[in-house]
């Protein structure tokens, strides 16, 4: 009998010494305690009818019990389908209709709204609250902790993760035991995780970053986690002295830098800060180093592929780049039209192949064929180039590329210039419909608190630094850029908001 993810990530908890999860209320869970929780949850899932290959959806708060459900799905050979807690009932219904999970776990407060959804799709509903209570907990308590472990092979599905859909419809990425395990091993090695590590975990666990990068690496390497229910600046600052590693999205780092309590002494003992899921501004990278003496390690990955590239653990962590391909992962930059590989320095489509790359999109064979080549390369939709030293620089999503009057404009090039201007906190550049040019370059700016943006100075700078077709034809100030929970700017919303600007 073997079960790749169970054997490597969960079984070792039975004999792990010390604490596995530190919780904000001061309590803690040892490895064996957590494993018993996962085993009881596995038995409870079986009572609810879950069999190998069945999907188990959950839209629940981040708790140890929720993480134990991940272990339970692995043990029962089921496929975990975690859902963003912000999704509305109708969004949840679209995922339930697509994935037809056997079980849907929800917060008790959403029972009334989601019961009809579950009913329409033949899904069994159970509840799990932010305090760990609910019908699922009661069912778990009635089960024994000696769960039988289902046999699985590396190619068997372990998770169905829907993409965040910032550039289009969410698609269910099918991730196997082998995909997740190989990437966990690669990252644990690359980032030198050991049982002495304590990962400060403040990311959500419905996304690949918090669930797989953070939890799988900790489980595999024997590291402990300070498991926080979400991002809370005060709680994060309080926990930092007990942590050795922080994994965050760029907004974690900008918020920490905005707080005077975040200083060199507070993090002098830290081993590693990792950033990903959205671009970390070079300015943030440099400001972080100036404040703390640490260089943030930026990495690049996505739901479909797990992690692809990383700045080196030892070696130069280069601001504004996402580092080099991870061992075992091939990354090429190709001509988007022909698919032919391009030399270093030229910008094109980032394609990725390796044991980390998913098997396809659930129920979408055509979409899978469009994006996953026969030779195994996945066309990521990200545009980038390798610099002369082999570091990958991302310039944006292909769907964000602006084609104005037949010329290509990479939003990032314009954004980087705007971000440097006095008074500019951040910027987003999008293409909006234009009667003459097809699309027009349009910039959205946010002011730094207490400062003013000088529009004339910005116009003059743009005229001097950018070819005319790259210069924004309109600039708008907003209070904040729309972002999803992973800190990604939702350019689709900006394009909609400003779509009739030149109509």
Cα–Cα dist 276/301, whole Å: 8
Cα–Cα dist 294/288, whole Å: 7
Q: Binding mask 142-181 vs ligand AMP (x if CB under 6 A, - otherwise)?
A: ---------------------xx-----------------
Kindly state the smallest distance separating residue 285's Cβ from ligand AMP, in Å: 11
Give the containing element (helix H, strand E) for 284.
helix 282-292
Neighbours of 434 (CB within 10 A): 18
Kindly state the smallest distance separating residue 13's Cβ from ligand AMP, in Å: 27
Name all contacts of 342-347 with Cβ < 8 Å and 24+ positions apart.
342/385, 344/385, 344/386, 344/387, 344/388, 344/390, 345/385, 345/386, 345/387, 345/388, 346/385, 347/383, 347/384, 347/385, 347/395, 347/410
State which residue, 212 or 437, has the beta carbon closest to ligand AMP: 212
Contacts (Cβ under 8 Å, ≥6 apart) of 241? 266, 269
Contacting ligand AMP (CB under 6 A), which of 397, 412, 434, 495? 397
Contact status: 183 vs ligand AMP (CB under 6 A): no
Residues 246-285 that bind ligand AMP (CB under 6 A): 276-279
Kindly state the smallest distance separating residue 340's Cβ from ligand AMP, in Å: 22
State which residue, 384 or 472, has the beta carbon closest to ligand AMP: 384
CA dihedral sign of residues 203, 207, 211, 214: negative
Q: Binding mask 342-381 vs ligand AMP (x if CB under 6 A, - otherwise)?
A: --------------------------------------x-
Cα–Cα dist 67/69, whole Å: 5
Point out which residues pair with 489 in neighbouring strands: 483
Contacting ligand AMP (CB under 6 A), which of 99, 486, 489, 494? 486
Find out whether 158 and 73 touch, Cβ atoms under 8 Å. Answer: yes
Kindly state the smallest distance separating residue 95's Cβ from ligand AMP, in Å: 15
Kindly state the smallest distance separating residue 492's Cβ from ligand AMP, in Å: 13
Cα–Cα dist 197/270, whole Å: 10
Kindly state the smallest distance separating residue 129's Cβ from ligand AMP, in Å: 26
Kindly state the smallest distance separating residue 319's Cβ from ligand AMP, in Å: 12
State which residue, 172 or 279, has the beta carbon closest to ligand AMP: 279
Contacting ligand AMP (CB under 6 A), which of 68, 220, 394, 458? 394
Piece in contact with ligand AMP (CB under 6 A), picked from 63-71, 299-307, 326-334, 337-345: 299-307
Contact status: 322 vs ligand AMP (CB under 6 A): yes
End-to-end CA distance of the chain: 64
State which residue, 472 or 487, has the beta carbon closest to ligand AMP: 487
State which residue, 31 or 384, has the beta carbon closest to ligand AMP: 384
Say if strands 103-106 and 79-82 run parallel, antiparallel, or are unpaired: unpaired
**Lookup result for tokens 């703390």:** 292
State which residue, 33 or 283, has the beta carbon closest to ligand AMP: 283
Burial (CB < 10 A; 0-12, 13-18, 19+), residue 364, is: middle
State which residue, 123 or 183, has the beta carbon closest to ligand AMP: 183
Q: Binding mask 200-239 vs ligand AMP (x if CB under 6 A, - otherwise)?
A: --------x-------------------------------
Piece in contact with ligand AMP (CB under 6 A), picked from 27-35, 129-137, 139-147, 300-308: 300-308
Kindly state the smallest distance separating residue 207's Cβ from ligand AMP, in Å: 6
Piece in contact with ligand AMP (CB under 6 A), picked from 32-40, 216-224, 294-302, 490-498: 294-302
Kindly state the smallest distance separating residue 154's Cβ from ligand AMP, in Å: 22
Kindly state the smallest distance separating residue 262's Cβ from ligand AMP, in Å: 21
- What's CA 222's distance to the chain center, in Å? 22
Least Cα distance to 296 among 262, 270, 273, 325 occurs for 273
Kindly state the smallest distance separating residue 322's Cβ from ligand AMP, in Å: 5
State which residue, 395 or 453, has the beta carbon closest to ligand AMP: 395
Give the Cα-Cα-Cα angle 234, 137, 87 (nearest 5 degrees): 60
Neighbours of 232 (CB within 10 A): 13
> DSSP characters for 27-70?
-EEEHHHHHHHHHHHHHHHHHTT--TT-EEEEE----HHHHHHH
Contact status: 302 vs ligand AMP (CB under 6 A): yes
Binding residues for ligand AMP, how many (CB under 6 A)? 18
Point out which residues pair with 28 in neighbouring strands: 22
Contacting ligand AMP (CB under 6 A), which of 303, 306, 321, 334? 303
Contacts (Cβ under 8 Å, ≥6 apart) of 364? 171, 172
State which residue, 19 or 310, has the beta carbon closest to ligand AMP: 310
Footprint of ligand AMP on this chain (CB under 6 A)?
A: 163-164, 208, 276-279, 298, 300-303, 322, 380, 382, 394, 397, 486
């Amino acid at each position: 009998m073997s079960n790749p993810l169970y054997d490597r990530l969960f079984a070792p908890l039975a004999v792990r010494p010390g604490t596995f999860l530190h919780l904000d209320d001061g309590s803690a869970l040892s490895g064996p305690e957590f494993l018993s929780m996962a085993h009881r949850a596995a038995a409870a899932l079986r009572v609810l009818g879950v069999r190998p290959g069945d999907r188990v959806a959950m839209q629940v708060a981040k708790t140890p019990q929720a993480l134990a459900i991940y272990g339970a799905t692995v043990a029962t050979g089921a496929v975990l389908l975690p859902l963003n807690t912000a999704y509305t009932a109708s969004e949840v219904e679209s995922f339930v209709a697509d994935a037809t999970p056997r079980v849907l776990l929800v917060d008790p407060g959403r029972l009334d709204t989601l019961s009809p959804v579950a009913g329409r799709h033949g899904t069994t509903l159970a509840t799990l609250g932010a305090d760990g209570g609910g019908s699922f907990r009661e069912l778990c308590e009635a089960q024994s902790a000696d769960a039988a472990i289902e046999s699985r092979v590396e190619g068997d599905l372990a998770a169905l993760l829907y993409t965040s859909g910032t550039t289009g419809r969410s698609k269910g990425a099918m991730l196997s035991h082998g995909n997740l395990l190989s990437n966990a091993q690669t990252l644990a090695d690359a980032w030198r995780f050991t049982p002495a590590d304590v990962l400060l975990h403040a990311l959500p666990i419905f996304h690949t970053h918090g669930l797989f990068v953070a939890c799988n690496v900790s489980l595999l390497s024997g590291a402990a986690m300070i498991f926080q229910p979400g991002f809370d600046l005060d709680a994060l600052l309080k926990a930092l002295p007990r942590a050795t590693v922080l994994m965050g999205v760029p907004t974690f780092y900008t918020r920490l830098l905005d707080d005077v309590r975040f200083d060199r002494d507070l993090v002098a003992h830290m081993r590693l800060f990792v950033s990903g899921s959205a671009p970390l501004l070079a300015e943030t990278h440099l400001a972080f180093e100036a404040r703390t003496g640490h260089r943030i390690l930026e990495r690049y990955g996505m739901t479909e592929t797990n992690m692809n590239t990383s700045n080196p653990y030892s070696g130069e962590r280069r601001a504004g780049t996402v580092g080099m391909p991870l061992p075992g992962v091939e990354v090429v930059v190709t001509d988007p039209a022909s698919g032919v590989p391009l030399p270093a320095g030229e910008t094109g489509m980032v394609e990725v192949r390796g044991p980390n790359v998913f098997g396809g999109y659930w129920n979408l064979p055509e979409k899978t064929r469009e994006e996953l080549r026969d030779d195994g390369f996945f066309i990521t939709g990200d545009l980038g180039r390798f610099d002369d030293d082999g570091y990958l620089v991302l310039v944006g999503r292909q769907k964000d590329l602006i084609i104005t009057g037949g010329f290509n404009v990479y939003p990032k090039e314009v954004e980087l210039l705007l971000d440097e201007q006095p008074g500019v906190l951040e910027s987003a550049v999008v293409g909006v419909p234009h009667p003459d040019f097809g699309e027009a370059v349009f910039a959205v700016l946010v002011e730094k608190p207490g400062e003013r943006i000088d529009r004339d100075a910005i116009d003059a700078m743009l005229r001097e630094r950018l070819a005319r077709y790259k210069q924004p034809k309109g600039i708008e100030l907003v209070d904040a850029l729309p972002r999803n929970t992973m800190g990604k700017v939702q350019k689709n919303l900006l394009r909609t908001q400003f779509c009739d600007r030149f109509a």
